Amino acid sequence: MRTLRSTPFALLALALACTPKSGGGGAATGTPEDEQAIRALTDKYAAAMTARDTTALGAITANDFEIVDPTGKHQQSRADALAAAARDYAMMPANMPVTMKATTSFVRWIDATHAVASGTWEMSPAMPGMPGKGSWLAVDVKQGTEWKVQSALGAPDMTPMMPAPTPAKP
C-alpha cells in the first residue's frame, strides 16, 4: 500500500511557487463565499474518501489536476487521479469501514481564482501499517462558478516514526 510522504523542502518550494509576486499593490482575493466554497472542498474530500467514491472525488477535482504521487508517478489529469484513487480504494480491506475527518486551517489567496489551502486529516481506524493522521496542502482553482482541487500533497504525521529523544546529560 502506498503512503504519502513529503519533506519540508517540498512544502517550502510549493509555498514559494504559489506566493504572489510583488509589484503594483496586493494580490486580489476571492470573496467570503469563495473561501467558504474552498473550505467545503475539505468536507467533500473527506466524505468521498470515507465512501470510497471516485464519482464524488471527481466532482471536486479540476480537469487539469496534476501531482507527482508518492511512488514518483506523474499524474496529469482528473482521469489519472481517479484511476489512482480507485486503485487505492481497491487495496483497502473491504470489511473495514474507515472514516476520514479533515479540517482546513487556512486559505491563502494567490489571486481571485487561485488559492492555497491547508489543514489536517485523520483516518479512523487507521489502515493497517499506515499513519492515522497528518496534514495536507492543496492548490485550488475556480473553474466557472465552482472551486476545484488542482493539485494536492498529503503528509503523514511522522511523530510515531521518530526515535525517542536522547536524555539530556546532567
Instruction: Work out the end-to-end distance of the chain between its first and last CA atoms, rounded to an integer number of angstroms.
Output: 44
**Would you call 22 exposed, middle or buried from its count of C-beta atoms within 10 A (0-12, 13-18, 19+)?**
exposed
Distance CA 45, CA 57 (A): 6
pLDDT higher than 70, residue 110: yes
Q: Which residues contact 52 (CB under 8 A, 6 or more apart)?
A: 89, 92
Q: Report the pLDDT value the prediction gives residue 96, as an integer from 0 to 100.
A: 83
Query: Residue 29, Cβ neighbours under 10 Å: how many?
Result: 15
pLDDT higher than 70, residue 40: yes
Question: In this structure, what C-alpha cell is assigned to residue 87?
Answer: 486503485
Q: Which residue has the higher pLDDT, 147 or 124?
A: 147
Q: Give 45-58 pLDDT, tens digit per residue.
A: 999 999 999 999 99
Distance CA 65, CA 54 (A): 14
Q: Which residues contact 103 (CB under 8 A, 6 or more apart)?
A: 42, 119, 120, 121
Q: Tell me the mean pLDDT in the region 88-106.
A: 89
pTM for this entry: 0.77
| Domains detected in the chain | 29-157 (3.10.450.50)
Q: Which residue has the higher pLDDT, 25 or 30?
A: 30
pLDDT higher than 60, residue 121: yes
Query: Residue 67, Cβ neighbours under 10 Å: how many?
Result: 20
Res. 9 pLDDT band, cuts 50 70 90: very low
pLDDT higher than 90, residue 139: yes
Query: For the chain, what is the mean pLDDT?
Result: 83
Nearest CA to 36 out of 115, 100, 110 is that of 115
Res. 128 pLDDT band, cuts 50 70 90: confident
DSSP code for 143:
E
